[in-house]
């Protein structure tokens, strides 16, 4: 199957900026989604990049570069409540849905 | 607007038994997706239903099956349960068969424990 690779854990301090990277296999790739999941909670949709470039939604931004098979999620002005796991995901061929293994973000005061 | 609902919240079964998990999508959503999330791991795609039909499945054995009803709710059945089936089973829904599947709305999950 297709795979999306992301770091397992990232730590940052409150108020800082953090970038979570995701690399992916290109065959059947249509675009990159990002989801947030708090411990014990359900994943919630954050953003989707169908085209190259930056998509901004408040403190969160997501970027895609198809030529590099790479994307990232950028979180600014980190807050304690941003401590969660973040997953990149892709609807390969729009009929199979692959998620990365998740990046656990620890925000420290 | 009600979100995706799943039942039961927790389910305890013994090895060899069958489990049935249920999901109701957001009103207006026709696609339902099932995922398995083992403790501390990512989501593994299980099944996708749309308009009452199975559209695709992930790399899981045939003992994982399901269906979608005319009201778009869905059921996941796991036969001949094995210990490694213990996981959180998440259901998600989206608006349309294609084009919107990148934005999925998840339910709270069913925690299945096999002893």
pLDDT number for residue A11: 97
Q: What tokens appear for B48 in the block?
A: 């996708």
pLDDT number for residue A49: 93
Per-residue pLDDT reduced to its tens digit, A2-36? 689 999 999 999 999 999 999 998 887 889 999 99
Q: State which residue of chain A sits closest to B36, comparing Cα positions.
A: A99
Asked if the C-beta of B101 comes within 8 angstroms of chain A's C-beta atoms, the answer is yes
pLDDT surpassing 80 at residue B33: yes
Rounded average pLDDT over B96-101: 65
- Sign (positive or negative) of CA dihedral B79, B83, B85, B89: positive
Rounded average pLDDT over B85-99: 86
pLDDT number for residue B42: 86
The least confident of B25-29, B70-74, B92-96 is B92-96
pLDDT number for residue A1: 58
CB contact under 8 A, A100 and B90: no
Give yes or no for a contact between B77 and B18, defined as CB atoms under 8 angstroms apart: yes
pLDDT number for residue B22: 98
Please state, for a pLDDT cut of 70, what percent of chain B lies above it: 95
Q: State which residue of chain A sits closest to B55, comparing Cα positions.
A: A95
- Sign (positive or negative) of CA dihedral B100, B35, A57, A71: negative
Pairing of strands B19-24, B5-7: antiparallel
Encode burial over B60-84: b for 16+ CB neighbours within 10 A, e otherwise.
beeebbbebeeebbbbbebeebeee
Per-residue pLDDT reduced to its tens digit, A35-94? 999 998 999 999 999 899 999 989 999 999 999 999 999 999 999 999 999 999 998 877
Q: How far apart are CA A67 and CA A26, in angstroms?
A: 10
Rounded average pLDDT over B95-104: 74
Longest distance between any two alpha carbons in chain A, whole Å: 42
Candidates A97, A98, A101, A102, partner chain B, best to mutate (most B CBs within 10 A) = A97
Give yes or no for a contact between A24 and A5, defined as CB atoms under 8 angstroms apart: yes
Task: Count Cα atoms within 13 angstroms, Cβ side, for B48.
Answer: 23
Give yes or no for a contact between A52 and A36, defined as CB atoms under 8 angstroms apart: no
CB contact under 8 A, B102 and A33: yes
pLDDT number for residue B87: 97
pLDDT surpassing 80 at residue B57: yes
Q: What tokens appear for A51 in the block?
A: 């085209």
pLDDT number for residue B99: 63
Compare A71 and A96 and report the one with higher pLDDT. A71
Question: pLDDT confidence of B96, banded at 50, 70, 90?
Answer: low
Candidates A29, A50, A55, A91, partner chain B, best to mutate (most B CBs within 10 A) = A91
Per-residue pLDDT reduced to its tens digit, B37-49? 998 788 999 999 9
CB contact under 8 A, B42 and A87: yes
């Amino acid at each position: 199957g297709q795979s999306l690779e992301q770091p397992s854990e990232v730590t940052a301090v409150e108020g800082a900026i953090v970038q979570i990277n995701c690399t992916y296999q290109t065959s059947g790739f249509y675009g990159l989604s990002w989801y947030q999941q708090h411990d014990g909670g359900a994943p919630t949709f954050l953003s989707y990049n169908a085209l190259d470039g930056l998509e901004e939604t408040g403190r969160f931004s997501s970027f895609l570069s198809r030529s590099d098979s790479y994307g990232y999620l950028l979180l600014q002005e980190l807050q304690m409540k941003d401590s969660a796991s973040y997953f990149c995901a892709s609807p390969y061929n729009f009929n199979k849905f692959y998620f990365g293994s998740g990046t656990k973000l620890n925000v420290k005061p | 607007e009600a979100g995706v609902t799943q039942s039961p919240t927790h389910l305890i079964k013994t090895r060899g038994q069958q489990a049935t998990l249920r999901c109701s999508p957001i009103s207006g959503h026709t696609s339902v997706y099932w995922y398995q999330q083992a403790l501390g791991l990512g989501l593994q795609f299980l099944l996708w239903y749309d308009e009452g039909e199975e559209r695709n499945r992930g790399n899981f054995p045939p003992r994982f099956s399901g269906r979608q009803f005319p009201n778009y709710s869905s059921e996941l059945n796991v036969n001949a349960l094995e210990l490694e089936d213990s996981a959180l089973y998440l259901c998600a829904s989206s608006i349309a068969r294609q084009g919107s599947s990148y934005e999925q709305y998840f339910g709270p999950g069913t925690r299945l424990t096999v002893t």
